[in-house]
Amino acid sequence: MDFDFTPEQSQFRDELREFLRAEVPVEKQEVFGQWSEDQCQFGREINRKLAARNWLAIGLPEEYGGGGKRAIEQGILAEELGYGRVSQTGFMGLGQYGSVRRLFDDFTDFCNDSAPDGGQPVAEHPLVRHQLAQRRLGMETWKLLCWRAVWLQSVGSKTDVAASITFLHGTEEQTRFAEMAMEVLGPYSTLRHGSSQAPLLGNIEGLHREAMNLQGAETTVMHRNIIAHLGLGMPDKTPEHEL
Amino acid sequence: MVCQTKHPNMNFNLTQEQESLRNTAREFLATECPISVVREAEESGVGHSPDLWRKMADLGWLGICLPEKYGGGESSLSDQAVLFEEVGGFLVPGPLLASSVLAAQTVLQGGTDQQKDNLLPGMVSGDIILTLARGERLETSSQSGSLVISGESAFVRYAGLANQIICATRPAIGAWPDTTLVLVDSQADGVIKTAMESIANYPQFRVEFDDVSLPGDSVLGEIAEGRVALELAIKRATVIQCAETLGRAEKVLEMVVAYAGTGQQFDRPIPIGSFQAVQHRCANLKVAVDIGRLLTYQAAWRLDQNLPASDEIAMAKAQSGTLSRLATETGHSIFGGVSFTVKHDMHLYSDRAKIAEAHLGDTEYHLDQMIVD
């Protein structure tokens, strides 16, 4: 196994990061649970700039005007756009991971920097530290699952079961993180985006609401069915004489 | 199977050589390590099958990662992980992890050339078995010009079988500033081994050292310089133990899915595997198995590439404990009451899962080792 990008892929990722640092000011960054027209509009502007560099459809064949690269490059784009908080449609999986991961990293910084009682930072509290470690394990796992699914796609293998496993874990991990973060923030976690007292711009509250919405894109229950049927070969319906 | 530096390129497949190693291991163990051999080793109380041990030595398994000059196979840690998935799945008895991984790596990383020449070829051929003793209460000191070890260590694996015990002794305050590794003849006067009666009859011992005088060449490497060697050996053994746990969990999943396809509830003519309640438990275990594989091989790959790996190892072992528990819970809940009986095989898996979970740091310990800033 090899868990690394090629040097060219790493370079593409670095160029993207630089582009996003330069092009996405903080006030334009997407906030979880907002879906404002302004942000969607900004996302379209970024898309046009990405298209001008032929990065937007980097995974499509050159004969259709794409970048002629593989699914790996498309995955890098999705993850970096998510991490850069650019409002996107059509990028599931790594895009979702990227945006949640960004919030998790910001939340971890928040816990390391905030000392509400004037004492030790929140992250030094053994329980919080422990939960941050658990959630980071969940995040790193989500990332590995995403990349496995993208890699399978890049070599033309079946991705159905791997995708369901990724989606199931990702959905549940997002919920676990949202609940954990809300627990740490206490009543501040209920403040919405726009409230001057809302920590992290109200992103945690938005994430929590979005986590519920994710169940709408094929529920975790359905993904467990798919894993059992396609992944483990278990019967996918009750025999007729039982009905 | 030497690990070669090559152009990096994402790949989640095993190499062809690893596939063939896995298939060879699977075929060999299916013949040579049926469940009867596992039960026999457990019932003997020794936890070992000398016949199987000899055959594994002949296949080169005991020295798979060691340098060629000691008779080893020079394989990567990832290759060894592939082998140990099978070792785990077949519940192979014997001190493979304790001697061939943990102790052998400690000797390789920390021993002098002379010590490596003396010990490693014998470990590869299966003639020498070593084990490691750690503990806060082990102390070496210099008394009237000779080296003396005192104190005790608990949970020393296979101490009854081992020719020598590598003792990781704590720094003596005001004397040696760091861990000193010493080799102690397990039959020496003053070495008292008491079996700790464990689940699966697992051979764990409390070993007391009653001011045991050691010969001149007993220090492994140099005085107070054992820490680096010990830590690297533990890292490698931790990853390999994760692979073993993974193999066991995969086997449990295979067993429960097969059973659910045929097992019936009372007189209903449909298999219990048709019920979503059963399917979803199996799906959960499948997810955890896939995650365990990714985390284990990521850690092995990083060690093979000489990249920093402490964080990845901690993640792999933290998840490994969760995987162990899930496999146990899933197995017993789907097999039902019959799996609580000694005749059923499931308890062989769940007992070993618990032993592995507690060994080399459990989930909570490794979560604490993870970076959170």
Residues of chain A with C-beta less than 8 angstroms from the C-beta of B9: 2, 4, 6
Per-residue pLDDT for B177 more than 80? no
- Residue ranges matching CATH 1.20.140.10 in chain A: 90-243
Q: Reduced to 3 states, what is the DSSP secondary structure of residue B144?
A: coil
Q: What is the pLDDT of residues A163-199, one digit of tens each?
A: 999 999 999 999 999 999 999 999 999 999 989 999 9
Query: How far apart are the CA of A222 and the nearest CA of chain B, in angstroms?
Result: 10
Per-residue pLDDT for A240 more than 70? no
The Cβ of residue B256 has, within 10 Å, a number of other Cβ atoms equal to 26
Helix axes A160-185, A94-113, angle to 10 degrees: 20
Q: Is A233 on the interface with B (CB under 8 A)?
A: yes
Domain A1-88 CATH assignment equals 3.30.70.360 = no
Determine contact, residues B368/B318, Cβ cutoff 8 Å.
no
Q: Following DSSP, what letter does each residue of B291-309 receive, concatenated?
A: HHHHHHHHHHHHHHTT---
Strand partners, B91: none
Mean pLDDT of chain B: 93
Which residues neighbour B129 within 8 Å (Cβ) at sequence distance 6 or greater?
A: B95, B99, B123, B158, B161, B162, B163
Query: How far apart are the CA of B288 and the nearest CA of chain A, in angstroms?
Result: 9
- Residue ranges matching CATH 1.10.540.10 in chain A: 1-88
Q: What is the pLDDT of residues A30-42, one digit of tens each?
A: 889 887 888 888 8
Q: Following DSSP, what letter does each residue of B180-233 receive, concatenated?
A: EEEEEETTSTTEEEEEE--GGG--EEEEEEEEEEE-TT-BSSSTT--HHHHHHH
Residue predicted with more confidence, B179 or B234: B234
Using a 10 angstrom Cβ sphere, with 0-12 exposed, 13-18 middle and 19 or more buried, the burial of residue B75 is buried
Using a 10 angstrom Cβ sphere, with 0-12 exposed, 13-18 middle and 19 or more buried, the burial of residue B250 is buried
Q: What is the CATH number that goes with domain A90-243?
A: 1.20.140.10
Residues 8-67 of A with CB under 8 A from B: none
Residues of chain B with C-beta less than 8 angstroms from the C-beta of A1: 11-14, 78, 297-298, 301
Q: Is B315 on the interface with A (CB under 8 A)?
A: yes
| ipTM (interface pTM) | 0.93
Of A1, A129, A235, the CB nearest to B12: A1
Residues 142-201 of B with CB under 8 A from A: none
pLDDT of amino acid B305: 96
Cβ distance A1 to B319 less than 8 Å, yes or no, reads no
Of B14, B268, B287, the CB nearest to A227: B287
Of B243, B276, B315, B311, the closest CA to residue B83 belongs to B243
Determine contact, residues B123/B163, Cβ cutoff 8 Å.
no
C-alpha span between A226 and A58 (Å, rounded): 30
Cβ distance A5 to B286 less than 8 Å, yes or no, reads no
Question: In terms of CA atoms, which chain A residue is nearest residue B250?
Answer: A232
Q: Report how far apart the first and last C-alpha atoms of chain B are (Å, whole number).
A: 37
Q: What is the pLDDT of residues B6-60, one digit of tens each?
A: 678 899 999 999 999 999 999 999 999 999 999 999 999 999 999 999 999 999 9
| B322 token code pair | 């969760």
Per-residue pLDDT for B4 more than 50? no
Helix axes B227-262, B276-304, angle to 10 degrees: 150
Q: What is the pLDDT of residues B73-129, one digit of tens each?
A: 999 999 999 999 999 999 999 999 999 999 999 999 999 999 999 999 999 999 999
What per-residue string of b and e applies to B261-279 under the rule 16 or more CB within 10 Å gives b? eebeeeeeeebbbbbeebb
What global pTM score does this model have?
Answer: 0.95
Q: What are phi and psi of B175, to 5 degrees?
A: -115, -100
Query: How far apart are the CA of B32 and the nearest CA of chain A, in angstroms?
Result: 28
pLDDT of amino acid B2: 43
pLDDT of amino acid B371: 80
